[in-house]
Amino acid sequence: MITGKTQILGVIGDPVTHSLSPVMHNAALAELGADFVYVAFPIATAQLETAVAGLAAIGVSGFNVTIPHKQAIMPLLSKISAEAQAVGAVNTVWRTERGWAGTNTDVLGFVAPLQALRDWSQAQAVILGNGGAARAVVAGCAQLGLKGVSVVGRNPDRLQAFQLSWQGSPFQPPSVHPWEALPDLLPQADLVVNTTPIGMHPQVGATPLDEALLAGAKADAIAYDLIYTPSPTQFLSLASQHGLATIDGLEMLVQQGAAALKIWLQSSVPVDTMRQALKAHLGH
């Protein structure tokens, strides 16, 4: 029940009405009996600074940040974690005595389904795409201790900028390659991650890697798609047909959310309740 004492959490973005975060966070808050509510705040870019000051003024406890504010929020925070600084994006903000603090839980979310699977120290990853999510994936691969990370993109200027952006960060810059390099890269890869939107609903028949390319992949490689609708994507279906293990984007979504909720509540959180709430909502 929402009372006069109920505390507010939320997500800011534009658009944000499609966000799945309210579903999973409110399920967890109900399970915990915590007197919080989690809501979506649509905030236009021109209003970001005013809105963030307003969220502080009305006593919001913390919030997630989604497209297009993940970078723009950074100058408005009084403290940013080293991880978020390296990634160059913040997705979780909480209140401190000295103002808002921010971090990036997408890195932890990406790593969570991988870390127990194997020793990654000799492994090679191929990452498809060089956008925002690819940044969290590169940082995650560095945290796992992978030996090599190759980022594949379609635009040479953006690829070059992506590589340069890692200079001076705690992480080893990835090598960058055009899409045409995939026949040479895939046979070496232990982990193949799709960070492009290719195959996302409603383009459910599209795949970033076709059968011919997947036929060249290592038999014991893991195919990881950050997309969570549909489940599985065409990419993961084809990878599975070629005998590869597969991971879809739902677990990353759940784990980045769980990590954020832990920060706000300073307690353990019911991860399975969050996972089940999302699956029920998505009809998985």
Alpha-carbon span 106 to 253, nearest angstrom: 8
Which tokens is 21 given?
């975060």
Active-site residues, by number, are 70
Work out the angle at residue 132's Cα, subtended by the Cα atoms of residues 127 and 159, and round it to the nearest 5 degrees.
Answer: 60
Alpha-carbon span 156 to 179, nearest angstrom: 10
Work out the angle at residue 236's Cα, subtended by the Cα atoms of residues 232 and 242, and round it to the nearest 5 degrees.
Answer: 135
Q: How far is the CB of 226 from ligand NAP (least distance, A)?
A: 4
Q: If we measure between CA atoms, which residue out of 110, 68, 76 comes closest to residue 93?
A: 76
Q: How many angstroms separate the most distant Cα atoms in the chain?
A: 61
Main-chain dihedrals φ then ψ at residue 62, nearest 5 degrees: 180, 165
List residues binding ligand NAP (CB under 6 A): 106, 109, 129-134, 153-155, 158, 195-198, 200, 226-228, 249, 252-253, 256
Alpha-carbon span 214 to 275, nearest angstrom: 29
In which residue are the tokens 């989690």 written? 38
